[in-house]
Structure formats: C-alpha cells, structure tokens
Amino acid sequence: MRISRDDVLNWIRNCAAAVADNKEYLIQLDSDIGDGDHGANIHRGFQAVLSKLPTVADKDIGTIFKTVGFTLISTVGGASGPLYGALFMQMGTVTAGKLELTLADWAAAIEAGLNGVILRGKAILGDKTMVDALMPSAKALHEASIEGKSLPDALRTCARAAEKGMRNTIPLVAKKGRASYLGERSVGHQDPGATSSNLLLQVAVRTWTNGAS
C-alpha cells in the first residue's frame, strides 16, 4: 500500500476540516497558557491552503507540501506560521518529484519536518511544544518502517505515539514561547501546538487507513 498524490491532497483537505472543527478547543487551550490565537491562526492558515490546492493538484507531492508550507508562513500569525511552515517545507524537500509515497518516504518526510521545526523553534523534547508530539511519532514511524510493518499499522502506531506525546505535555513546565512566561503555572495544561500536531497525524490515520489492515 502506498500514499498517492490524491491521498495527500485528501489528507490536507481533511486536516483543514479537522482544524475548523477543533478551532475553539485550540483557542481555549492557548487561552490557558498563551494569547489564545492558536486555533484561529491555524484555521485561517488552512483555509488559505484550501484555496491554493487547486493550483498544485497536478504537481508532485513535494510541490504540494512546499505550497502548504509557504501558504502557512504567509497567512498564520505568531510562532505557529513559521513552525508549521518549516514542517511542511521540509516535508516537501524530501518528497520532491514524488507522485506517491511508501511508508519509508512518509517516515522520512515526518522526520525532515520535525527537524525543520526544531531548527526553527530551537525546542527539544520536554519543552512543552509541538515537538513533544512530533518527535515520538517520527520515531514510531521510523521504527515501523524498519520493522516492515504495513502502512495502516505504522500510521496507527504513529498516531498513538503522537497522542501520548501530546498528553505528556500536561505536567511539563513550558520552556518556549509565550507559555514559558508562566513558569510553573503552565503545569497542568496541555500544549496547544502539540495538540494541533497530534490532530494532523490522527487525520492521516482516518484518511489513509479506510479500514485497511
């Protein structure tokens, strides 16, 4: 089983829908430890992405991802735009010229995206950021690829790792971004960036498994 260009386009569309559905939840999470604009910003960015997709629907997957990244950088305010932009831009770099992705390709894309986020945001695991969801999911995907797991099984493993990483941000003290200003008061709150990152990976499972085993 492989991930086709149409699969990628459907994933992005479904991500936009999921962000819209969870906008208020993300706003609430960010209001607890930030300035409350994460949900609105990400939603605005993905709506802009939707308007761009028809212009790249016949292009390679790398071009699609880079277009998503550039659009998010251009339309999303705060730290989220550059970070999510870096994620998709780097995913686009390693998938350049491809019209379909193997599990190994997708694992490499997520790892490259994670590295782009780390380079841009200077965050590490445990800083209470989107890295806390992305890093364990990237590791899970890489290991699943090495072990020869099926794509559906690997996606589910990745999603479980992302959700666990997201939940693990609750007891952490924020070390980056506006939340870091709160110090110990950030403990007990789930990080909104880790939450939106987890959301995108959960959408990948729902979009690409479709009951496959």
178 found inside a domain: yes
- Domain of 195 in residue numbering reads as 3-206
Q: How far apart are CA 147 and CA 128, in angstroms?
A: 30
212 found inside a domain: no
211 found inside a domain: no
Can you tell me the mean pLDDT for 55-77? Answer: 96
Q: Sign of dihedral through CA atoms 178, 179, 180, 185?
A: positive
Q: Which of 10, 30, 204, 6 is nearest to 109 (CA)?
A: 204
Burial of 89: CB neighbours in 10 Å, binned 0-12, 13-18, 19+: buried
12 found inside a domain: yes
pLDDT tens readout for residues 30-54: 898 887 889 999 999 999 999 999 9
Token pair for 59:
């292009």
Count of other CB atoms within 10 angstroms of residue 199: 21
Q: Sign of dihedral through CA atoms 48, 51, 53, 56?
A: negative
213 found inside a domain: no
152 found inside a domain: yes
21 found inside a domain: yes
User: What does the DSSP assignment read for 104-131?
Assistant: HHHHHHHHHHHHHHHHHH---TTSSSTH
196 found inside a domain: yes
Lowest mean pLDDT among 41-45, 160-164, 176-180, 190-194: 176-180
Instruction: Tell me how many domains the chain contains.
Output: 1
Question: Has residue 158 got a pLDDT over 90?
Answer: yes
Question: Has residue 181 got a pLDDT over 70?
Answer: no
Question: Has residue 202 got a pLDDT over 60?
Answer: yes
CATH number of the domain encompassing residue 84 = 1.25.40.340
